[in-house]
Amino acid sequence: MGLRNWAYYSKHAFINIFGNRLVHAISIGTIASSLILFGSFILLFYNLNHWMLEWGQSLSMSVYLQDEIDQKTKARIESLLKNLPSAELKEYISKDRAMEDLIDGLGVHSGLLEGLKENPLPASFEIIFKDVNIRQLDPQGMKEEIEKIEGVQEVQYSEEWLDRLEGLVYVLKVAGFIIAGFLCLAVLFITTNTIKLTIYSRRDEVEILKLVGATDWFVKMPFLIEGAIQGLVGGVIALSTISLLFLLFSMDKVHIIGLPVLEIVFLPMAHLAFIILLGLILGLIGSFIAVGRFFDA
């Protein structure tokens, strides 16, 4: 297939598109809408994964100490905790500091604590396990081990709610895959039917091309290119819309009670390229099905 033929195919694909502007505009619009939904799902999952990774990589553990321990025991516990794999001893929170934090946290309701005769809160060491795979750590086993150390009252870690979040993300992912599958089918259906319409509107030309000796591929190629262009343009429009909406409506961080908790990130280059490529491939497959059906008939 020479360069000359490609020039012919592309020229005729564009002539076909401009000749059936309205049908193609509707088709491209529908493809773009489907891909916007699809892209939004990818953006959501990408951010959920990003947050989970961030949290997963900074598993935190609070090691609560018994009240009556002496300095020597405390130092020994501190030393043991520092030697845990990937552990970073963030800080020591004394009983008094724990009470101050609680009073700050309760704010106007701190009066509730006034009746207390003594401070019931334990001192604690706050540990963070950074840049590690949470699954390799076995926090439950570690918790049990640390609780055996003399002077340690209790250990709490941040994995339980992470497990629950992971479960939620998994459900969302499955739902997302199903929805994405339907969206892909919708795009295929739209492209197939649009190309089928354009083939039928030009069937006299197809017939004459065959009668003057055109090969099947010579006739098919402009329609395939037409489908690919539809998908490509739909993909580019979808991506531009998602980018624009992201710029207009997103905040840098999600705030909870005024504190920045989650950083919102945009899709990386590979994901963006995937959306455009998906549009192109779906357009191509759709037109492939349409021309295949036409030629079989």
Partner 1 sequence: MIQLFRVSKSFGTSKALQDINLRIRKGEFVFVTGPSGAGKTTLLRLIFGTEPPTEGQILIRGINLNRIRRTSLDLLRRRMGFVFQDFKLLSRKTVFQNVAIALEVTGERPAIVRKKTHQALKAVGLSKKEELFPLQLSGGEQQRVAIARAVVNDPLILIADEPTGNLDPDITRDIMILFRSINLRGTTVIIATHSQELMKDTEQRIILLKEGRMLRER
Q: State in angstroms the smallest separation of the CB of 197 from partner 1.
A: 16
**Is residue 205 close enough to count as binding partner 1 by CB under 8 A?**
yes
- Restricted to residues 16-45, the positions that interact with partner 1 (CB under 8 A) are 19
d(Cα 184, Cα 161) in Å, to the nearest integer? 34
Q: State in angstroms the smallest separation of the CB of 34 from partner 1.
A: 32
**Is residue 259 close enough to count as binding partner 1 by CB under 8 A?**
no
* Contact yes or no for 32/244 (Cβ under 8 A): no
C-alpha Rg value of the chain to the nearest Å: 31
**Is residue 297 close enough to count as binding partner 1 by CB under 8 A?**
no
**Is residue 210 close enough to count as binding partner 1 by CB under 8 A?**
yes
Q: Using CB under 8 A, which of 101, 160, 207, 252 touches partner 1?
A: 207
Q: Which of 130, 125, 133, 132 is nearest to 149 (CA)?
A: 125
Query: Which stretch, 61-69, 92-100, 202-210, 234-242, contacts partner 1 (CB under 8 A)?
Result: 202-210
SS3 (DSSP) at 60: strand
**Is residue 209 close enough to count as binding partner 1 by CB under 8 A?**
yes
Nearer to partner 1, 4 or 21 (CB): 4
Question: Under 8 Å CB-to-CB from 51, ≥6 apart: which residues?
Answer: 262
Residue appearing with tokens 């343009």: 233
Nearer to partner 1, 131 or 204 (CB): 204
Site mask for partner 1 (CB under 8 A), range 213-232, x = bound: xxxx-x--------------
* Contact yes or no for 94/163 (Cβ under 8 A): no
φ/ψ of residue 185, rounded to 5: -60, -40
Nearer to partner 1, 6 or 189 (CB): 6
**Is residue 14 close enough to count as binding partner 1 by CB under 8 A?**
no
Q: Which two tokens stand for residue 98?
A: 């724990």
What's the sign of the alpha-carbon dihedral 74, 79, 81, 82? Answer: positive
d(Cα 291, Cα 297) in Å, to the nearest integer? 10
Q: State in angstroms the smallest separation of the CB of 45 from partner 1.
A: 47
The residues that touch partner 1, with contacts defined as CB under 8 A, are 2, 4-5, 8, 19, 204-205, 207-216, 218
